[in-house]
Structure 1
Amino acid sequence: MTAARAADPAPDPYLWLESVDSPRAMAWVNARNAYSTGVLEADKRYAQNYQDALAIAGDKDRIPMPDFVHGAVYNFWQDPEHLRGIWRKTTLASYRTATPEWKTVLDIDALGKTDGKSWVWHGANCLQPDERRCLVALSDGGEDATTVREFDLDTGAFVAGGFSLPHGKQNVAWEDADHLLVAREWTPGDLTASGYPYIVKRVTRGQPLESAVEVYRGLKTDTEIVPTVQRDAQGHTLATIQRGIDFFHFETVVVTPQGAKRLAIPAKSGVAELVAGRVIVKLDEAWTAGGRTFPAGALAALDIGAVKADPANLKPVLVWAPGPRESLEQVSATRDTLLLSTLDNVRGRVSVLTPAGRGGWTTKSIAVPDNLAVNLGATDLVSNRAFIQMSGFLTPTTLALTDTTTGALDTVKTLPPKFDASRDVVEQREATSTDGTKIPYFIVHRKDIAYDGATPTLLYAYGGFQISLTPNYSGSLGKLWLEHGGAYVLANIRGGGEFGPAWHEAGLGVKRQIVYDDFASVARDLIARKVTSPRRLGIEGGSNGGLLMGVQFTQHPELWNAVVIQVPLLDMIRIGKIAAGASWAGEYGDVNADPAAMAFWQKTSPYAQLKPGVAYPVPFIFTTTKDDRVGPQHARKFAARLEEFGDHVLYYENTEGGHGAGADLKQAAHTTALTMTYLQEKLID
Structure 2
Amino acid sequence: MPDLTYPPARKVDQTDTYFGTEISDPYRWMEDVDAPELKQWVDAENALTQSWLDEVPQRESLRTRLMALTNYERYSAPTRHGTRYFYSHNTGLQNQAILFWQEGLDGTPHVLIDPNTLSTDGTVALNGISITDDGTLMDYAISDAGSDWVKWRVRDIATGQDLPDIVEWSKFSSATWLKDNSGFFYQGYERPADITPEDALKSANYFHKIYFHKLGTPQSEDLLIFDRPDDRELNMGCAITDDGRYLIISQSRGTSPNNQVTIKDLTQPDSSPILLVTTEEAAFDPIDNDGSYFWFRTTLDAPNSKVIGIDLAQQDLTNPSRDHWQTLIPESTNPLDSVSMVHNTLIAQYLKDAQSHIQLHAPTGELLHTFALPAIGTADGFDGKRTDTETFFTFTNFTTPATVYRLDLTTLETTPYRRPNVAFDPSLFETRQVFYPSKDGTRIPLFLTHRKGITLDGQNPTLLYGYGGFNIALPPAFAPAYVLWMEMGGIYAQAGLRGGGEYGEAWHEAGTKLKKQNVFDDFIAAAEYLIAERYTSPAKLAISGGSNGGLLVGACELQRPDLFAAAIAQVAVMDMLRFDKFTIGWAWKADYGSPSENEEEFRAIYRYSPLHNIVPGRKYPATLITTADHDDRVFPAHSFKYAAALQAAAPPHSEANPLLIRIETRAGHGAGMPLSKRVELTADQYAFLTRTLEMCY
Q: Which residue of 1 aligns with 2:89?
A: 77
Distance, in Å, in 2 between the alignment partners of 1:311 and 1:491 is 45
1:63 & 1:418 partners in 2: Cα distance? 17
Letter in structure 2 aligned against 1:433: S
- Distance in structure 1 (CA, Å) of the matches to 2:288 and 2:227: 25
Segments of 5+ residues of structure 2 without an aligned counterpart are 1-15, 195-199, 652-657
Structure-1 residue corresponding to 2:563 = 559
Matches within 5 A, 1:570-589: 570-589=574-593
Please name the residue that 1:289 is paired with: none
Give the CA deviation at 1:445: 3.0
Kindly provide the amino acid, as one letter, of the partner of residue 250 in structure 2. Answer: Q
Note if 1:284 corresponds to 2:299: yes
- 2:331 aligned with 1:330: no
- Distance in 2 separating the partners of 1:308 and 1:189: 43
Change (3 A) 1:396 1:188: closer
Letter aligned with residue 39 of structure 1: W
Where 2:177 maps in the other structure, the secondary structure is strand
Distance 1:189 1:593 in 2: 29
Equivalence map 1:640-679=2 (5 Å): 640-646=644-650, 648-660=658-670, 663-679=673-689
Q: Any residues of structure 2 matched to 1:305-344 within 5 Å, and which?
A: 305-306=313-314, 309=317, 312-314=320-322, 315-324=324-333, 326-344=334-352
Are 2:360 and 1:352 aligned? yes
Alpha-carbon distance in structure 1 between the residues aligned to 2:357 and 2:596: 42
Distance 1:283 1:189, change over 3 A: farther
Counterpart of 2:5 in structure 1 is none
User: Could you tell me how far apart the structure 2 residues matched to 1:307 and 1:460 are?
Assistant: 48
Aligned mates of 1:283, 1:16 — CA distance in 2 = 45
Aligned: 1:528 with 2:536: no
Cα deviation for residue 380 of structure 1 reads 5.5
- 1:680 corresponds to which residue? 690
Q: Quick check: 2:343–2:409 contact (8 Å CA) kept in 1? A: no
Is the aligned partner of 1:14 residue 2:14? Answer: no
1:618 aligned to which of 617, 622, 630 = 622
Tell me if the contact between 2:377 and 2:396 (Cα under 8 Å) persists in the aligned partners. Answer: yes
The DSSP-based 3-state class of the residue aligned with 2:454 is coil
Q: Distance in 1 between matches of 2:221 and 2:103?
A: 41
Counterpart CA distance in 2 for 1:601 and 1:246 is 18
Q: Tell me whether 1:25 sits opposite 2:38 in the alignment.
A: yes
- Matching of residue 145 in structure 1 with residue 149 in structure 2: yes
Question: What is the CA-CA distance between 1:170 and the residue it aligns to?
Answer: 5.6
Distance 1:67 1:442 in 2: 32
What SS does the corresponding residue of 1:43 show, helix, strand or coil?
coil
Distance 1:447 1:84, change over 3 A: closer
Amino acid across the alignment from 1:587: D
Q: Deviations over 1:454-478 (max 9, x none)?
A: 1111111111111111112222211
CA drift of 1:321 comes to 3.0
SS across alignment from 1:635: helix
Matched residue, 2:307: 299
TM-score after normalising by structure 1: 0.89
How far apart in 1 are the matches of 2:260 and 2:203? 18
1:165 to 167, 189, 196: 167
The number of residue pairs the alignment matches comes to 658
**2-structure distance, mates of 1:637, 1:220:** 35
The corresponding residue for 2:273 is 260
Structure 1 residue aligned with 2:283: 269
Q: Is the 8 A contact 1:377 1:387 kept in 2?
A: yes
For 1:438, which of 417, 426, 443 is the aligned residue? 443
Q: Which amino acid aligns with 1:416?
A: N
SS of equivalent to 1:355? coil
Q: Structure 1, residues 610-662: CA drift from partner, whole Å, max 9, x if none?
A: 11111101111111111111121111111011121236322111112321176
SS in 1 for 2:277: coil
- Partner Cα distance (1:408, 1:265) in 2: 42
Please tell me the residue identity of whatever aligns with 1:572.
M
Residue 200 in structure 1 maps to residue 213 in structure 2: no
Q: Deviations over 1:36-95 (max 9, x none)?
A: 122223422111221222333343x34454333442332233457743443222345338
Q: Could you tell me how far apart the structure 2 residues matched to 1:255 and 1:119 are?
A: 35
Match of 2:177 in 1: 174
> Contact 1:459–1:488 (CA<8 Å) still a contact in 2?
yes
Q: Secondary structure at the match of 1:464?
A: coil
The answer on whether the counterparts of 2:75 and 2:90 sit within 8 Å (CA) in structure 1 is no
Of stretches 210-219 and 37-46 in structure 1, the one that deviates more from structure 2 is 210-219
* 1:111-143 CA-partner distances (Å, limit 9, x unpaired): 446xx995211121122x213221110011121
Q: Does the Cα contact within 8 Å between 1:199 and 1:214 map onto a contact in 2? A: yes
Structure 2 distance, partners of 1:328, 1:89, is: 32
Q: Which residue of 1 aligns with 2:106?
A: 94
Using the TM superposition, give the Cα deviation of residue 179 of structure 1 relative to its aligned residue in structure 2, in angstroms: 3.8
- Residue 21 of structure 1 and its aligned partner are, at CA, apart by 2.5
**CA offsets per residue over residues 500-549 of structure 1, 9 Å max, x none?**
11111111101111111111111111111111110011111111111111
**Equivalent-residue separation in structure 1 for 2:19 and 2:382 (angstroms):** 56
The match for 2:491 is: 487
Q: 1:137 to 1:75 in 2, by over 3 A?
A: same
Rate the CA distance shift 1:611–1:247 in 2: closer, same or farther, 3 A. Answer: same
Distance 1:22 1:320, change over 3 A: farther
**SS of aligned partner of 1:490:** strand
Matching residue of 2:233: 223
In the superposition, relative to structure 1, how do residues 117 and 373 fare at CA in structure 2: closer, same or farther (>3 Å)? closer
Contact 1:230 1:273 in 2 (8 A): no
Question: How far does residue 106 in structure 1 lie from its aligned partner after superposition?
Answer: 1.8
AA aligned opposite 1:212: D
Backbone CA RMSD of aligned residues = 2.8
Match of 1:109 among 104, 107, 116: 116
Is the Cα–Cα contact under 8 Å of residues 80 and 665 in structure 1 kept in the other structure? no
What SS class does the counterpart of residue 83 from structure 1 fall into?
Answer: coil
**8 Å CA contact 1:193, 1:223 repeated in 2:** no
Closer/same/farther in 2, CA of residues 302 and 236 from structure 1, 3 Å limit: farther
State the shift of 1:310 in Å: 5.6
Distance in 1 separating the partners of 2:579 and 2:18: 22
Distance 2:48 2:233 in 1: 38
Q: Is the 8 A contact 1:222 1:245 kept in 2?
A: no
Deviations 1:261-282 (A, max 9, x none): 3113762212332144442322
Q: 2:68 aligns with which of 55, 59, 74?
A: 55
- Give the SS at the match of 2:608: coil
**Whole-Å separation in 2 of the counterparts to 1:5 and 1:440:** 37
Larger mean CA deviation between 653-662 and 455-464 belongs to 653-662
Distance 2:630 2:507 in 1: 33
- Whether the 8 Å CA contact 1:398–1:411 is kept in 2: the answer is yes
Q: Which amino acid aligns with 2:233?
A: T
CA distance in 2, matches of 1:397, 1:346: 17
* CA distance in 2: counterparts of 1:589 and 1:168, whole angstroms: 27
Amino acid aligned to 1:73: Y
Aligned to 2:3: none
**Does 2:399 match 1:394?**
yes
Cα contact 2:70–2:93 (8 A) shared by 1 = no
Q: Report percent identity of matched pairs.
A: 27
Q: Distance in 1 between matches of 2:192 and 2:583?
A: 17
Deviates more, 1:426-435 or 1:49-58: 49-58
Q: CA offset at residue 431 of structure 1? A: 1.1
Q: Distance in 2 between matches of 1:629 and 1:138?
A: 16
Once the two structures are TM-superposed, the CA of residue 323 in structure 1 deviates from its matched residue by 2.6
Change (3 A) 1:73 1:613: same
1:30/1:68 CA distance change after superposition, 3 Å: farther
Give me the whole-angstrom Cα distance separating, in 2, the residues matched to 1:305 and 1:624. 52
The match for 2:596 is 592
- Which is worse superposed, 601-610 or 381-390? 381-390
| SS of the residue 1:51 aligns to | helix
